[in-house]
Structure formats: C-alpha cells, structure tokens
Amino acid sequence: MAKLPIINVPDPMLKTLSDPVGQVDDDLRRLMDNMLETMYDAPGIGLAAIQVAVPKRVIVLDTEGDEETGRKPVFLVNPEITWESEEFSVYNEGCLSVPEHYAEVERPATVKVKYFDYHGQQHEELMEGLQATCVQHEIDHLNGVVFIDYLSKLKRNMIIKKVRKATKDAMIL
C-alpha cells in the first residue's frame, strides 16, 4: 500500500463530478487500499477518490473502529443515497482537503445508501449518526461539493485564503 497526496481547496479538481465505476477489480481494490492508508495516516474518518485526484465514485470510511484492531473500514463504490430522514442533525465537520478548519453543517440524521463493496457485492445500508454525516460529506465530494460550500461566501473565501497561505508556507519549509 502507498500513501497518496491529498489535494486541498481551491484545487479545481475538487469541483469535478466523479465518474461511475464500471467494475470492481484488482486495480480499484489497490486504489481503495491506498486511499484507506492515506485516510488513516492523515488522520481522518472518510476519503473520496477525488481528494486524491482520482475522479471515480469511490469512498472509504471508518467511523466506528473495532475493539481488536481499532479499525472497521467501509468501502463504497458508486454510492447512492436512496432515502434520507426528515430529521436533521448538525455536526462540526472537518475535511482532509480543508486542513484545520471546521464548521457546523446540517444534514439528514439518517440515510439509506446503496453501493458496491470491496468485492463488488451490492449492499443497501441504513446509516445513522456520524456514519450518516460522513457518507453524505464524502458523496458530496463525488458531486464536486466541499463542506465549506454550505457556508456563507465570506466564511468560505476566508477559509480558502487561509488554506492557500498555509499550503504556501508549508512549501517554503
């Protein structure tokens, strides 16, 4: 496995609509393994392929972990929300493509998601709480939406300016 570089706002690639995946094969599994390693290393709880400059409808998540390894990854290929609750929840979201910035975003509290897994098997799963928030955040990425797009233009531009400056400062070091 290999760590992949994560792109940051305002990279125009983050505004790209990701392409559906035709089939789950060894190349795609390798990409998902690399995305998972990248996400854990960052550290984060979700990562969309577009965040590593691959415009495919692929997401990796781990919002639960297990007692033994501390990890419980979920691989979602061509994820699609098929139902969402009328009840909403607010979560203070962050993003690996918007480092060190957080904002409250309101989303449906529960969603039903249809997707293909790591082995190409189709699933439809009800997701609640943090997992529901995370999957919606990552599906937004696949549709060219970043969580700061939910903020006012003033706040969004301020965050982008700070990320740009931090990125430039990091390149100087």
Q: Is the pLDDT of residue 169 over 80?
A: no
Structural contact between residues 86 and 47, judged by C-beta atoms closer than 8 angstroms: no
Q: Which residues are catalytic?
A: 138
Lowest mean pLDDT among 67-76, 101-110, 135-144, 153-162: 67-76
Q: What does the domain layout of the chain look like in residue ranges?
A: 12-172
In terms of pTM, does the model score above 0.85? yes
Q: Is the dihedral of CA 40, 43, 49, 53 positive or negative?
A: negative
* In contact, 99 and 126? CB cutoff 8 Å: no
- pLDDT tens digit string along 9-20? 999 999 999 999
CATH assignment of 12-172, among 3.90.45.10, 3.50.50.60, 3.40.190.10, 1.10.3370.10: 3.90.45.10
**Taking residues 77-93, what's their average pLDDT?**
98
Nearest-angstrom CA–CA distance, 4 and 22: 22
* pLDDT above 70 for 83: yes
